Amino acid sequence: AQSVTQLGSHVSVSEGALVLLRCNYSSSVPPYLFWYVQYPNQGLQLLLKYTSAATLVKGINDFEAEFKKSETSFHLTKPSAHMSDAAEYFCAAQGGSEKLVFGKGMKLTVNP
């Protein structure tokens, strides 16, 4: 069965600093991979997704993620954090006909 690991639950960065949120998946078959963002008291919104077309995926608000099959990873990055990026971020995976499986989430704090 598919599983997704997001190590840690909270990360704090300074405004303007690099954002790096890690995600590893477990599957013998490269799955479809997603990053979602959740702002306080809201539902989840899609940031970006990987569907095997390109290993470097660009999403909204200058976020991007790179699929690395050898590392079974799909880490999310943003070159320069903005205060409005403060939110919770979820990595998710979906393999073939299987269900969408989420990681436990990572809360991002951006300090001025």
Partner 1 sequence: DAGITQSPRHKVTETGTPVTLRCHQTENHRYMYWYRQDPGHGLRLIHYSYGVKDTDKGEVSDGYSVSRSKTEDFLLTLESATSSQTSVYFCAISEGPGIGTEAFFGQGTRLTVV
Site residues (vs partner 1, CB under 8 A): 6, 9, 32, 34, 36, 41-46, 49, 51-52, 90, 92, 94, 96-105
Nearer to partner 1, 40 or 112 (CB): 40
Q: To the nearest whole angstrom, how small is the minimum distance from the Cβ of residue 80 to partner 1?
A: 26
Q: Compute the distance between CA of residue 57 and CA of residue 59 in angstroms, rounded to an integer.
A: 7
Can you tell me which residue has the tokens 């954002």? 19
Contacts (Cβ under 8 Å, ≥6 apart) of 80: 16, 17, 18, 62
Q: Are 106 and 12 in contact (CB under 8 A)?
A: no
Nearer to partner 1, 6 or 19 (CB): 6
Nearer to partner 1, 17 or 49 (CB): 49
